[in-house]
């Protein structure tokens, strides 16, 4: 439509302006793209927060998973183009004078472009973190504390917006999103996070509840995909476009396909549910050691170190079904490690050293 073409062509002008005038900040912007990567939620933010506050850690995974699931459904409904292929295929530029957009190793995402998953994942998780940090300061009642609370409030929300804007600019700079797609992503993320501020039930969810949720999310997404396929609408239309117009075939990553994200998220949610309802978790995180600062710090350090090792586990990508199954298992292993395995090992170690002392 003419309106969308106008929106897209203006977006391309913004991308060109960023790529031309902010090239000096290329490394910083690429770094901010990694900061916004939804995968960091499971390997960095979650292990930190879960040991500090289990309620916040649990909420974080739920928000990340449900947010990313909504992101997938929105992407399938909105059919958003990505700049790096749109400029090559649109007819609005006269006689082959389509603008030149620079591509980067992280440009060639294969899913549809709207709304931005990075912007959405980043805003929903940082929203959870900021509101959690502020809930501690709300309890301060005396006069001086109120002023301090206001200062902290302003400071944390400023940080929140600086990070969101940086992530958005970085996604536009690398030509993987149009500006309207990242703005949509940020506000969609905030809405999802805000919805979870009012659902205390997730804190007491049983393993059965986790499995039911997982099945619902999977069957709904798969059903949606298959119904539209029957109507001759291919929801994976964006993958061939990405392969065709990506400057370097090595930059195309199966990790960025719509189903890869879905499987990763379902794995993480299952791993969390399995971990929280396991004997290991109940023994270690509900035991008398769990209140000790030393226990928590050891758990954080061991979790972060162990999860970095998972990055070295490369899943074979030649068979798609095998890739999805292994990806699910790897994603489930991460929260399970943080919630159950690491605390249990730390708890056992502390118990052994206490016995030796006595």
Catalytic residue among 8, 81, 118, 180: 118
Predicted local confidence at residue 141, as pLDDT: 65
Segments in the chain forming alpha helices (H): 2-21, 26-35, 39-40, 46-52, 54-78, 83-89, 117-137, 143-173, 179-196, 207-230, 238-245, 258-276, 279-285, 293-310, 320-336, 342-357
Query: Is 118 a catalytic site residue?
Result: yes
Predicted local confidence at residue 250, as pLDDT: 86
Predicted local confidence at residue 350, as pLDDT: 87
Query: Is 81 a catalytic site residue?
Result: no
Predicted local confidence at residue 259, as pLDDT: 87
| Residue 171 annotated as lining a ligand binding site | yes
Q: Based on the number of CB atoms within 10 Å of its own CB, is 279 exposed (0-12), middle (13-18) or buried (19 or more)? A: exposed
CA separation (Å) from 296 to 47, 49, 57, 342? 10, 10, 13, 11
Q: What is the largest CA-CA distance in the chain?
A: 85
Q: For residue 4, what are its two tokens?
A: 């969308």
Gap between the Cα atoms of 140 and 146, Å rounded: 7
Q: Give residue 52's region: left, alpha or beta (phi > 0; psi -120 to 50).
A: alpha
Q: For residue 146, what are its two tokens?
A: 């109120």
The 10 Å Cβ neighbour count of residue 147 is 11
DSSP string for 307-339: HHHHTT-PPP-SSHHHHHHHHHHHHHHHHHIII
Nearest partner of 128 among 171, 160, 153, 155, judged by Cα: 160
DSSP string for 50-92: HHH-HHHHHHHHHHHHHHHHHHHHHHHHH----HHHHHHH-S-
Predicted local confidence at residue 35, as pLDDT: 84
Q: Give the relative orientation of helices 117-137 and 179-196 as an angle to the nearest 10 degrees.
A: 40
pLDDT tens-place values along the chain, 358 residues long: 889 989 999 999 999 999 999 999 999 998 898 888 888 889 999 999 999 889 999 999 999 999 999 999 999 999 999 999 999 888 888 766 778 899 988 888 888 998 999 999 999 999 999 999 888 877 766 677 778 888 999 999 999 999 999 999 999 999 999 999 999 999 999 999 999 888 888 888 999 999 999 999 999 999 999 999 999 999 889 989 999 989 888 888 777 778 888 999 999 999 999 999 999 998 887 767 777 888 899 999 999 999 998 888 888 878 888 999 999 999 999 999 999 999 999 999 988 888 888 7
First to last CA, the chain: 77
| Residue 296 annotated as lining a ligand binding site | no
Gap between the Cα atoms of 124 and 167, Å rounded: 13
């Amino acid at each position: 439509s003419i309106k969308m073409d106008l929106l897209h062509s203006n977006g391309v002008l913004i991308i060109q302006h960023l790529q031309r005038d902010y090239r000096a900040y290329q490394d910083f912007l690429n770094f901010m793209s990694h900061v916004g990567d939804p995968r960091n939620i499971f390997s960095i933010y979650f292990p930190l927060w879960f040991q500090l506050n289990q309620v916040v850690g649990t909420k974080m995974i739920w928000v990340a998973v449900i947010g990313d699931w909504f992101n997938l459904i929105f992407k399938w409904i909105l059919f958003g183009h990505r700049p790096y292929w749109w400029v090559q295929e649109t007819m609005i530029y006269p006689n082959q004078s389509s603008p030149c957009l620079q591509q980067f190793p992280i440009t060639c995402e294969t899913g549809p472009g709207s709304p931005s998953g990075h912007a959405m994942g980043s805003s929903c998780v940082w929203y959870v973190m900021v509101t959690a940090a502020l809930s501690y300061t709300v309890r301060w009642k005396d006069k001086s504390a109120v002023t301090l609370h206001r200062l902290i409030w302003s400071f944390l929300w400023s940080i929140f917006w600086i990070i969101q804007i940086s992530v958005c600019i970085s996604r536009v700079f690398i030509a993987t999103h149009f500006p309207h797609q990242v703005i949509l992503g940020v506000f969609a993320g905030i809405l999802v996070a805000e919805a979870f501020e009012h659902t205390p039930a997730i804190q007491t969810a049983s393993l059965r509840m986790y499995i039911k949720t997982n099945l619902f999310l999977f069957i709904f997404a798969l059903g949606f995909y298959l119904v539209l396929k029957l109507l001759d609408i291919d929801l994976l239309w964006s993958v061939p476009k990405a392969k065709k117009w990506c400057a370097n075939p090595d930059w195309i990553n199966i990790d960025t396909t719509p189903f890869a994200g879905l499987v990763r998220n379902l794995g993480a949610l299952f791993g969390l549910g399995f971990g929280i309802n396991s004997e290991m978790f109940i023994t270690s995180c509900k035991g008398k050691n769990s209140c000790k600062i030393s226990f928590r710090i050891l758990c954080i350090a061991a979790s972060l170190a162990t999860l970095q090792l998972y990055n070295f586990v490369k899943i074979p990508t030649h068979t798609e079904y095998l890739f999805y199954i292994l990806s699910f298992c790897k994603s489930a292993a991460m929260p399970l490690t943080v919630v159950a395995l690491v605390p249990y090992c730390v708890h056992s170690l502390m118990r052994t050293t206490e016995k030796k002392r006595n």
